[in-house]
Amino acid sequence: MSAPTLYLDHAATTPLLPAARDAMLEGFALWANPSSPHAPGRRARAALEDARARLKDLLGWSGEVVFTSGASEALALAIQRCILPLVAVSAVEHEAVLRHAGDARRLAVDPLGLVRPADCALPGLVAVQQANNETGVMQPMEAIADAARGAGGLLLADAAQGAGKLFLPDADLIALSAHKFGGPVGVGALLVRDWAMLRPTGGQERGYRGGTENLPGVLAMVAALAAGAEWLGRAVALRDRLDQAIAAAGGISIAEETARVPSIAAYRMPGKSANAQLIRFDGMGIAVSAGSACSSGSLKTSHVLQAMGVEGANEVIRVSIGRETSEAEIDRFIAAWREVAGA
């Protein structure tokens, strides 16, 4: 009997936590529209607002919350409805930001993938990720926020890979997605420091987002967030183990010298294309990726790695660790890496 699939692609999506599944089922029992004035609608509204308050408490957020269908919608809403125009985005942003960036300035990054805070001193909306979805590199968000605000600007942070794992970044608008931390797909949120930063358009969510709220999804998202992130200490040790073993086998850890979110790492296997690696690993029952899941079907070289000037960018894969990843599983991947690298 073959070994079960080893899933090391948690940056793409995570398994639904049991607590989130239970909360979602509870939400299905509250099937009425939260905007309806009758008793069933009021019960649904009460549950929705209680979930909003719990989300803010769990995140330590004192501003406002707009529930969305995920981080992509949250980012689009922020960019399209912010009172300030989007003037700059980091060159390593997720496609969910870049597709709305238009002629906004692309902020260069250094070889470690870091933005220079001074470049963010602009009088408009600046978009910078908290943690990169391909390399795990964490940006100096506090310094970036200070620079943007000092110039009369605002900071939009894509926290899809950080929410539920890291403290919230110091930003004015923050996007998050439930399925990146054990919640269901199809639900997320835009955190807004002050309603005055967004132009309302009518509809639900106090007029800032149209469409009936996904109450089961919201309840599940909050339950997943409440599960905590104590496992990240173990993830640091597992990633360090990976870094060391891959270096010993002739591989290269991308941006190893800077702070990375513990759950994500990118590795180069010299002489082996990322696509060839993925095929081999998949045949061995191991699920990893070559960059963002949103562009994994493309043969183009990662724009993130290109912006960093990574040599052999088309030989880099992403390994992302989850809550249940074990040392034995990491050792299984290391053994597979050695086999593929030596083939």
Annotated active-site positions, please?
Answer: 294
CB 132 within 8 A of CB 166: no
Residues 6 or more apart whose CB falls under 8 angstroms from that of 299 comprise 275
Helices (H) and strands (E) in the chain, counts: 10, 12
Looking at this protein, which amino acid is placed at residue 1? M
Kindly tell me the burial class for residue 60, based on how many C-beta atoms sit within 10 Å of its own C-beta (0-12, 13-18, 19 or more). Answer: exposed
CB 183 within 8 A of CB 16: yes
Q: How many Cβ atoms sit within 10 Å of the Cβ of residue 232?
A: 16
Torsion angle in degrees (nearest 10) through CA of 293, 298, 299, 303 = -70
The count of C-alpha atoms lying within 13 angstroms of the C-alpha of 81, restricted to the half-sphere facing its C-beta, is 23
Between the alpha carbon of residue 129 and those of residues 92, 93, 101, the distances in Å are 8, 6, 14
Residues 6 or more apart whose CB falls under 8 angstroms from that of 27 comprise 47, 215, 216, 217, 218, 219, 220
Place of tokens 């190893």: 256
Looking at this protein, which amino acid is placed at residue 114? L
**Beta strand 173-177 with 154-158: parallel, antiparallel or unpaired?**
parallel
